[in-house]
């Protein structure tokens, strides 16, 4: 599939202007000598694949290349979606059901449907919980939490851009200014948690106990406020309040929280968890990249 799409998009740079043919994709499972068809996605215009490819490139330039991450692992190419969502192991009787759920999401992406980002975030957090506690129910839970979540954030950017385009085609415009500010506040909180986690990791607390403060089942606004206080105390404990970027992150976070009443908080408890994890993963990737750059500079000196 990946080779097919790459070849197709390279040869059809003007496919958006002239969709002279349609593509049908068949997803199947091979079981010994039998083949079981799981999903068929019909009538995909090649222009849509080209459009997705262009979005991927822009996201990669903004979120992958600056951190020196491996494009093959972090590129929001549709094959990589299977590593960031909960797929029950093959021995589980619900394996095909969980697989079909992801194929339905792929179908929405390729058919130009509006993607239900609330449902996606719910699945993201379910998988993040499995990764954090190393559940054996799902495939891929041995990965590092910060890597999984960062890939999810990258895919979320793709879904958001696809939805924006699809709504534009329908003549619909949406403004989510308040929600975006609230997401940003939670990302700042997650960034502070990442700094504490980095300090704990350096002190041989490999599981980063600060992450135990995050309830993967969901965190309403009132619990988020409790978490803010606990995070501030931990920053004091580890003498991180004066660290690079900490003051700025705290100031921006408090500015948003102070201007938001609980009744005006628009994010769900699961969304709250995801955007805290998003901030944690982004900051953790930045910390790792910074350390790698310092090592590189030391080697060159």
Specify the pLDDT at position 261: 79
Give the Cα separation of 188 and 167 in Å (integer): 29
Specify the pLDDT at position 207: 92
Query: Which residues have a Cβ under 8 Å from the Cβ of 2 and sit 6 or more positions away?
Result: 77, 79
- Report helix angle 269-300 to 117-132, nearest 10: 60
Question: pLDDT, tens digit, for every residue of 209-231?
Answer: 999 999 999 999 999 999 999 99
Question: pLDDT, tens digit, for every residue of 57-114?
Answer: 999 999 999 998 998 899 988 889 999 999 988 787 888 888 888 999 999 999 999 9
Specify the pLDDT at position 295: 65
- Report helix angle 221-237 to 246-258, nearest 10: 160
Give the residue ranges of the chain where pLDDT is below 70.
1-20, 243-245, 294-301
């Amino acid at each position: 599939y990946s080779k097919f799409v790459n070849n197709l998009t390279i040869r059809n740079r003007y496919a958006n202007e002239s969709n002279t043919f349609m593509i049908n994709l068949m997803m199947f499972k091979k079981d010994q000598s039998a083949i079981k068809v799981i999903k068929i996605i019909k009538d995909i215009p090649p222009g849509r694949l080209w459009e997705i490819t262009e979005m991927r490139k822009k996201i990669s330039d903004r979120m992958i290349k600056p951190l020196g991450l491996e494009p093959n692992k972090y590129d929001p190419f549709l094959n990589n979606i299977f590593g960031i969502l909960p797929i029950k192991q093959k021995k589980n009787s619900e394996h095909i059901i969980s697989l079909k759920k992801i194929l339905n999401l792929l179908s929405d992406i390729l058919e130009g449907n509006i993607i239900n980002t609330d449902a996606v975030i719910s699945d993201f957090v379910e998988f993040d919980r499995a990764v954090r506690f190393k559940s054996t129910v799902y495939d891929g839970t041995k990965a590092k939490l910060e890597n999984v979540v960062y890939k999810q954030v990258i895919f979320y950017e793709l879904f958001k851009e696809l939805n924006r385009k699809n709504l534009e085609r329908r003549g619909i415009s949406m403004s989510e200014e308040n929600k975006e500010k609230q997401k940003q506040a939670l990302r700042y909180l997650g960034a502070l948690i990442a700094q504490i986690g980095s300090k704990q990791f350096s002190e041989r607390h490999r599981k980063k106990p600060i992450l135990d403060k995050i309830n993967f089942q969901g965190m309403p606004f009132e619990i988020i406020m409790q978490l803010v206080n606990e995070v501030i105390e931990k920053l004091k404990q580890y003498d991180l309040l004066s660290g690079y970027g900490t003051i700025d992150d705290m100031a921006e976070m408090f500015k948003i929280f102070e201007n938001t009443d609980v009744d005006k908080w628009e994010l769900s408890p699961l969304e709250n968890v995801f955007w805290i994890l998003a901030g944690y993963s982004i900051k953790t990737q930045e910390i790792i990249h910074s350390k790698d750059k310092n090592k590189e500079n030391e080697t060159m000196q």
